[in-house]
Structure 1
Amino acid sequence: MDIPAHGSNEAARIALLRSLNILDTPPDERFDRLTRLAKRLFDVPIATVSLVDTDRQWFKSCIGLSVEETPRDISFCAHTILDDDLLVVDDAQLDPRFADSPLVTGDLGIRFYAGCPLTLNKSLRVGAFCIVDKKPRKLDATERELLRDLARIAERELEVLQLAATDDLTGLSNRRGFEALGHHVLALTKRARSRASLLFFDLNGFKQINDVYGHAEGDRALVGFAGVLRGALRETDVLARLGGDEFVALVAGAQAGDEAQIIDRVRLGVARYNRDNRRGYDLKFSVGYAPCGTQDDTSIAELIDIADHAMYANKRAAREKSPRSEASALVPAQ
C-alpha cells in the first residue's frame, strides 16, 4: 500500500480547510443532497464528500458508510488531492497502491473508487467528491464528466461557506449563494439534456404581520414558510431566501406540469402550518415560475426575473378576481 504524499502547498491547504469552520460539524443538507444524487445516478452503494485533514479524511457527507472519518494514510481521497483531475481505480485488488489497504482487504471490501478533487482558491485541493463500489467497474467519458460536474457543485457549496452565502434566519441560501450554486446546477441539467424550472414565492400581507404583530413574529413567519418549502420540495432541489419575504426554488429535472404539483404541495403545507400554529394570522403566498428547456440558454438571474414578473402577474390577477383575497391564480411565465 502506498502512503499518500503531502503536496508542496500542504500548509496553505490545511489553513484554508480549517478557515471554513466545517470540520466536525453536523450533517448539511446541501452536501447530503449531492451524495444522494451521486448514489442514484451512478448506482453505487457509497458516495462521499471527503475533506482531507492533517492525519485523517473526514466525511462532511457520507452515504453508505457508518463511519465519519478514516486515517489519511489509508484513504483513497488523500491520493486524489495530489492531482487536478479524477482518480479512477477500476479494481483496487489489482492496483498496487491499494491492493493491501485495509479498506480493500477488510470488511468494507472496496473494489472500485472514483474521486474528483475539490479545489478552492484555484489551486488548494481540500478534499474529494467520490463514489465507491464493492465490485470492479469502469467509468465512460460521460460518467467521468458527470462526476466532475457533481464535484464542481460541491466546490461551489464550499465556496458558499467562504462567501457567507447563507441566510442567517432561515438557513436557506441567500441570493448570492443561490445564484452561484444555481448556475452550476443549471449547467448540469443542460448537460444531461434535462428540463429545469425556477419558482418564485412571495408572502402576501407580510408587512401587515410585521406592523401588527412585530418583527419577531415576522421572523417566525419567514422561518415557518422556509420549513414549508423544505417539506414540499425534493431533497435535490435548491432553495433560497432572496431577501425580505421572497423565496425561490430551482427544480432540476422538472417535467412539464411538475410546477403545479409542487405549488399544490406548498399550499397544503401552508394550510397545515396555519392550522397547527394559529398565530392570529394566516400565511399566504403568491407564486410564479420560469421553465428552462433543454435548449434554452437562460441564466439564473434571468430565470429569477422571469419568475418574479410571473408572480406579480399572478398576484394582480388574484386581486382583480377577488380584491379581498391574496391567493394567486397559477399563470406560467411566457
Structure 2
Amino acid sequence: MLNPPISANERSRIASLKKLNILDTAPEDKYDRLTQFVSQLFGVPIALFSIVDSKRTWYKSRIGLDAKESHRNDSFCAHAILQEESFVVQDTLKDKRFAENPFVLSKPDIRFYAAQPIRSPEGFNIGSLCLIDNKPREFNLASQRQLKQIAAIVELELAARNGKAYCLESQLLNHDGFNQIATIGQKICRDADIPLAVMYFYVKGLAGLKDLKPDSYTTILKIVVNSLKLSSTGSDVIARYEESGFVGLFSNCSMNSLTSTAQQISTLVNNNLHQKRISNIEVICGLAEDDGKQSLDELIFNAYMAHYCNARN
C-alpha cells in the first residue's frame, strides 16, 4: 500500500479548510440529500462527502458507512484531492496503491472507488464527493461528468456558508441560491434523461404578518418549511423564492406524482394550521414540467402562471 503524497500547497489548503468552520459539525440536510442522490443515481451502497484534514479524513456526509472518519494514510480521498478531475479506481485489488489497504482487505470491502475533488471557495481541494462499491465496475466519461456536476453543487453549498445564498428565517435557499443550484440540477437531470418539474407554492396571507402578528408569522413559516421538507426527497431543491412564495425543483417524478406531492404538502400545511387555530391563510400551488428546452427562469415562470390560474379558479 502506498501512502497518499502531501501536496506542495498543503499549508494553504489546510488554512482554506479551517476558514470554512465545517470540521466536526453536525450532519446537514443539504449535504445528506446530495450523497443520498449520488448513491441512488449511480447505484452504489456507499457515498461520501469527505474532508481531508492534516491527519485524518472526516466524513461530513455519509450514506452506507458507519465510520465518521479514517486515518489520512488509509484514505482513498487523500489521493483524490491530488487530482483536478475525477479519480477512479475500477478494481482496488489490481491497483498497487490500494491492494493492501485495510478498507480493501476488510470492511467496508472497497473494490471500486470514484471521486470528484471538492474545492473550497478559494480554490483548494479540501475533500471529495466519492462513490464506493464492494465489486469492481467501470465508470465512463459520461458518469464522471455527472459526478463533477453534482460536486459543483457541493462547492456552491460551501460557498454559501456565509449565508448569502440562504434565507436566514427559513434556512432554505433564497432566490439567488436556488437559481445557482437548480441550474446545475436541471443540467444534471437532462444529461441523465431524468424527468424534472417545478412547483411554485404560494402562502396567501403571509405577507405583512411579520409585523402585525410575529408569533403567528413564525409558526406559519415553520409549518410551511417542515411540510416542504417532509414531502421532498434527497434530489429535490427547495427554496424560499419570495416573501410568500416557495419553489421546488423536483426530479425523477411525473406530473401525476408531483400533483400528489403538492396535495400532500397542502394537506400537511392546512392540518397543522388548523391544529394551531390559525385561519385566513391559503396555500396555492402551480406546477410546470420541463420539456428539455425551457430555461430555468421559463420553467419557474410557467409554474408561477399555473399557480396564478389556480388562484383565480
Bin the TM-score by the shorter chain. over 0.9
In 2, Cα distance between the equivalents of 1:305 and 1:216?
A: 32
Q: Aligned pair count?
A: 313
Distance 1:309 1:9 in 2: 51
- Aligned partners of 1:199 and 1:287 also within 8 Å: yes
User: RMSD of the alignment, in Å?
Assistant: 1.9
Q: 2:78 — aligned with what? A: 78
- SS of the residue corresponding to residue 153 of structure 1 reads helix
Note closer, same or farther for the CA distance 1:145–1:211 as it changes in structure 2 (3 Å cut): closer
Whole-Å separation in 2 of the counterparts to 1:3 and 1:112: 18
Contact kept, 8 Å, 1:232 with 1:269, in 2: the verdict is: no
Aligned to 2:193: 193
The aligned counterpart of 1:321 is none
Q: Deviations over 1:13-68 (max 9, x none)?
A: 22222222221111111111121122222222111011111111111110111111
1:159 aligns with 2:159: yes
Q: What residue in structure 2 maps to residue 177 of structure 1?
A: 177
- CA distance in 1 between counterparts of 2:219 and 2:236 reads 23
Counterpart of 1:97 in structure 2: which amino acid? R
Native 8 Å contact 2:56 2:70 kept in 1: yes
The letter for the 1-side match of 2:136 is P
Deviation at 1:210, TM superposition (A): 4.2
8 A Cα contact 2:52 2:77, kept in partner: yes
TM-score (norm 2): 0.93
Do the aligned residues in 2 keep the contact of 1:165 with 1:176 (CA within 8 Å)? yes
Q: Would you say the 8 A contact 1:274–1:282 is kept in 2?
A: no
CA distance in 1, matches of 2:53, 2:39: 24
Contact persistence 2:207–2:243 (CA under 8 A): no
Q: Contact 1:228–1:273 at 8 Å: present in 2 too?
A: no
CA contact (8 A) 1:183 1:300 kept: yes
Q: Is the 8 A contact 1:169 1:223 kept in 2?
A: no
CA contact (8 A) 1:270 1:283 kept: no
Q: 1:210 to 1:161 in 2, by over 3 A?
A: closer
Partner of 2:286: 288
Q: TM-score, normalised by structure 1?
A: 0.87
Cα pair distance change 1:313/1:113, threshold 3 Å = same
| Corresponding letter in the other structure for 2:44 | V
Identity of aligned residues (%): 32
Tell me, yes or no, if structure 1 residue 307 matches structure 2 residue 303: yes
Deviations 1:180-222 (Å, cap 9, x if unpaired)?
110110010111123311111111122464465x123212211
* 1:108-131 deviation per Cα after TM superposition (whole angstroms, max 9, x unaligned): 221111111112347411110111
Could you tell me which runs of 5 or more consecutive residues in structure 1 were left unpaired when the two chains were aligned.
319-334
* Structure-to-structure mapping, 1:113-132, within 5 angstroms: 113-121=113-121, 123-132=123-132
- Which residue does the alignment assign to 1:331? none
Tell me the amino acid that sits aligned with residue 302 of structure 1: E
Structure with higher Rg: it is: 1
